[in-house]
Chain A
Amino acid sequence: MRASLSGRLADAVLALAALALLVHAVGFASPYGLRVLTVAGVYALAAFGFQILFGLGGALSLAQGAFFGLGAYVTGILGSRYGLGFSVTFPLSLLVPLLVALPVGLAVLRLESHYFALATLGIAQVLHLLAVNAPELTGGANGLPGVPGVVLFGWAVPRGLPMAALVWSMVAVGGAVGWGLARGRLGRALTLVRDDPMAASTLGLDVGRLRLTAFAVSALFAGAAGALAVHTQRVVSPEVLEFPVMVSILTIAVVGGRGRMAGAVLGAVLLVHLPEWFRALERSYLIVYGAALLLTILLAPDGLTGLLERLFPRRARPVPDATEPPPGRKRDGEALSVEGLSKAFGGVHAVQGVSLTLRAGTITGLIGPNGSGKTTLINLISGLERPDAGTVWLAGQALTGARPDRLARAGLARSFQAAALPDGSTALEAVAAARLASDRDLAAAESHARWALDRMGVGELAARPCRDLPAASRRRVELARALARRPAVLLLDEPAAGLTDSEKADLAARLRALAAEGVALLVVEHDMGFLLPLAGWVVCLDRGRTLYEGPPEGVRSDAAVVAAYLGGGAP
């Protein structure tokens, strides 16, 4: 009860602040004050897009300022040179940054984080060079004066309060759209892509497409903000493409609170007003921005909204009721077959010509000494590594070398040796992530996740943060995450590591129940006492090659296995 009260208190604080701002704007602000407020709205709009791309998606784009500038120049050039009105220039100011962002994003979004930042900065520099050096089009270094104001349905919106109201209603619309995206499937999926792209792809999420979507959305917001900035200034000059714009957007997002729309508004209002409140700083306001950015990163990495939430914690949302997700396609016989799979790293042959078949409803054990290629084999099957040779057939489809998300959507699920759960999210959220690729909305994903948690006997832990879970519970939550996908094939990498004997017995029973439903399981394990009674078939690898394949009873009596695996010193 206390938590919910303090949550409402936080909302009340924010609402009061908004009301004060409104009263100030309508009743007391000077024309200059209104202009500053308008600029703050413009930056909030640009920051919304950045919150989705960088705050949620974790992609540090340094092109948000460039898209802002692009939107500004489209409105500036069309308005000043060709006399076109708002109804034409505004949509085009959204469209042109989008059209630039899509091909650019396709090319650079695959890049690793710092390369991505560099590439986007390069794009920003190219646009700035163009603006300065193509005076016939852009007016060169001086820019273009005489950009018309906004005309809405024949009404020329005057400067001052009406323009401020127009910009802030756009902020309201943009904020609502951004908030919806951030709280919905897209926001959740992007957060997972940011925290653990590999886990995201093995859960069936198309990482590239999600990032591209976020990049496109961010460009739309920036373009809209740029257009409104030019209508406010009535001139466009290369300044809109310079680094300070980018710095301001980044600072607003970080100081306000990464990934939060309220943070974008709070950050924009604060930072745009900062130089006004401290007149002495006028020429050096960017020093203050730099200092604010540094201090926030050092002391309050979640920004102002993060601080507010820590002061006034919200009540956790109620855990939804369980709904059984629709079962995956049922297949009898061969669920997965692998033939002649090979992979070398440099000169080391990690896996050489391994073949195996997993039948629906069976449990296959994969054993071998450390470094024998077990994890590499699982990585090859699940698409995290591309095989040098060999084929992978899943549910009757040839999927050799396919991306992990493609394999996952075709019915494959896997776990990792170190249970890979996002520390910050609750068990329910972690499992719901596995349903994002298949479910229509978040509510459905969460009730399906609840079902999977219940099945693994950890339903009561749904609201607990993953980082607080003991090892055995983490294992079960991770199994629930794999199970929630309703896979046809389940690959488990050392699921019993670190469990007590009774926990192992419980795990074995749950795995048998899964097999009885028709799931084909491949279990990598060192603990023979756990694995041999469980598995119906065992494959033993040694130095990347199949050493033994057959029933579990044969393992202990096979001389080669004994020599290689059960003890090097054995005769």
Chain B
Amino acid sequence: MATALQLLLNGVALGAAYALVALGFVLVLNATSAVNFAQGDLVMAGGLLAVALAPLIPLPGIVLLPVVLALMAGLGLLLAAAAYLPLRRRPPVSVFISTIAVGIILQNGASVLFGPEPRVAPPLFGDGIWRIGGVAVAEQSVAIVAVAALLIGAQQWVFGRTQLGRRLRATAQDPEMARACGVPVTAMILTTFAIGAACAGAAGLLLANRYFVTPTAGGDLILKAYIAVTVGGWGSVPGAVAGALLIALFEVGVSSVLSYPAALGALYATLLVILVVRPQGLFGEAVRRRA
């Protein structure tokens, strides 16, 4: 019972971080209908950024968070300017390839700067362990869940309740119409990329303490973001968060019984089955020709 509770907590903490990754991915997807393949590498970049900042700011990770968020938002703007805006009138596959290219540059740049060894970022508050009725509760796990919930809540508030959020949603729904209504669409797309990259950076910081970070970590993360979004329904924001929690629980559960590679293998196998069986995946974006 105690083990099950502990696994549940670990799974939810991992899922909260995955949720941030998937959230950033799906926001950019909705705003531009482009797949940002570099999202996983942005998470890795956020984690290594936290690792690099830690000696400069010898304070708990929670203080690093705003710095990481701001710097990653800047990186998101750069990504949009270099790999999205020049290609927005081209077929979607162009953006797919340009973000793959950016991912390669980030991954190998990181490996030149940091080397291939796994690195650890500081914990958000502390790395103590609380014992509550026989269950060992890691302080960091609770902090991850709390911080991720706070960030996702803040994002939901911005999108749901503010003028900026209305404009962002209008851009995501129909950029042409939004432009006609006076919404500065390009600025909104840039903002979305900034928010998406900031989400990735936060996830990187959260993950890089308990799970370490290596320059090649991005590949697995983009796949998981992708799976979360596929499971949750392509383009659905709450679905992406739910999907992320689901795959994290799956991963933690199967790892505890078998092994991590087995869990990963099972996850990908499940993904393939879902893709083949689920009709939304099959004809998700089929657009009917009319005019």
Chain A positions near chain B (C-beta within 8 angstroms): 58, 60, 107-108, 110-115, 117-119, 121-123, 125-126, 129-130, 132-133, 198, 243, 247, 250, 254, 283-284, 286-287, 289-291, 293-294, 297-298, 301, 375, 379, 384-385, 416-418, 420
Rounded to whole Å, the gap between the CB of A35 and the closest CB of chain B is: 23
Rounded to whole Å, the gap between the CB of A105 and the closest CB of chain B is: 12
Give Cα A417 to B286, complex, Å: 18
Give Cα A121 to B218, complex, Å: 13
B105 touching A113, Cβ below 8 Å: no
Tell which of A108, A126, A291, A417 touches B105, judged by Cβ atoms closer than 8 Å: A291
Tell me if B21 is interfacial: C-beta within 8 Å of chain A: no
Tell which of A110, A133, A385 touches B261, judged by Cβ atoms closer than 8 Å: A133
A112 touching B282, Cβ below 8 Å: yes
**A122 and B271 in contact, given A114-B35, A294-B83, A417-B291 (Cβ under 8 angstroms):** yes
A113 touching B92, Cβ below 8 Å: yes
Give Cα A286 to B101, complex, Å: 10
Give Cα A125 to B261, complex, Å: 11
Tell which of A126, A250, A291 touches B269, judged by Cβ atoms closer than 8 Å: A126
A297 touching B272, Cβ below 8 Å: no
Tell which of A60, A284, A416 touches B112, judged by Cβ atoms closer than 8 Å: A284
Tell which of B97, B223, B288 touches A125, judged by Cβ atoms closer than 8 Å: B223
A110 touching B226, Cβ below 8 Å: no
Tell me if B100 is interfacial: C-beta within 8 Å of chain A: yes
B93 touching A113, Cβ below 8 Å: yes
**A297 and B87 in contact, given A113-B93, A287-B112 (Cβ under 8 angstroms):** yes
0 or 1 for each of B95-118: is its CB under 8 Å from A? (1 = yes): 011101111110111011000000
Tell which of A114, A133, A420 touches B289, judged by Cβ atoms closer than 8 Å: A420
Tell me if B276 is interfacial: C-beta within 8 Å of chain A: yes
> Of residues 136 to 195 in B, which have CB atoms within 8 Å of A's CB atoms?
none
A287 touching B264, Cβ below 8 Å: no
Give Cα A291 to B103, complex, Å: 10
Rounded to whole Å, the gap between the CB of B235 and the closest CB of chain A is: 11
User: Which residues of chain A are within 8 angstroms of B102 by Cβ–Cβ distance?
Assistant: 290, 294
User: Which residues of chain B are within 8 angstroms of A123 by Cβ–Cβ distance?
Assistant: 268, 272
User: Which residues of chain A are within 8 angstroms of B111 by Cβ–Cβ distance?
Assistant: 283-284
Rounded to whole Å, the gap between the CB of B226 and the closest CB of chain A is: 5
B282 touching A293, Cβ below 8 Å: no
A115 touching B291, Cβ below 8 Å: no
Chain B positions near chain A (C-beta within 8 angstroms): 35, 82-83, 86-87, 90, 92-94, 96-98, 100-105, 107-109, 111-112, 219-220, 223, 226-227, 230, 261, 264-265, 268-269, 271-272, 275-276, 281-286, 288-291
State the total of A-B contacts with C-beta under 8 angstroms.
128
Tell which of B96, B271, B276 touches A114, judged by Cβ atoms closer than 8 Å: B96
Max chain A C-beta neighbours (<10 A), residue from B97, B230, B286: B97
Give Cα A294 to B84, complex, Å: 11
Determine the residue in chain A with the shortest Cβ distance to B283: A112
B219 touching A294, Cβ below 8 Å: no
User: Which residues of chain A are within 8 angstroms of B82 by Cβ–Cβ distance?
Assistant: 294, 298
Give Cα A353 to B242, complex, Å: 41
Give Cα A154 to B97, complex, Å: 45
A290 touching B104, Cβ below 8 Å: yes
User: Which residues of chain B are within 8 angstroms of A130 by Cβ–Cβ distance?
Assistant: 265
User: Which residues of chain B are within 8 angstroms of A247 by Cβ–Cβ distance?
Assistant: 100, 104
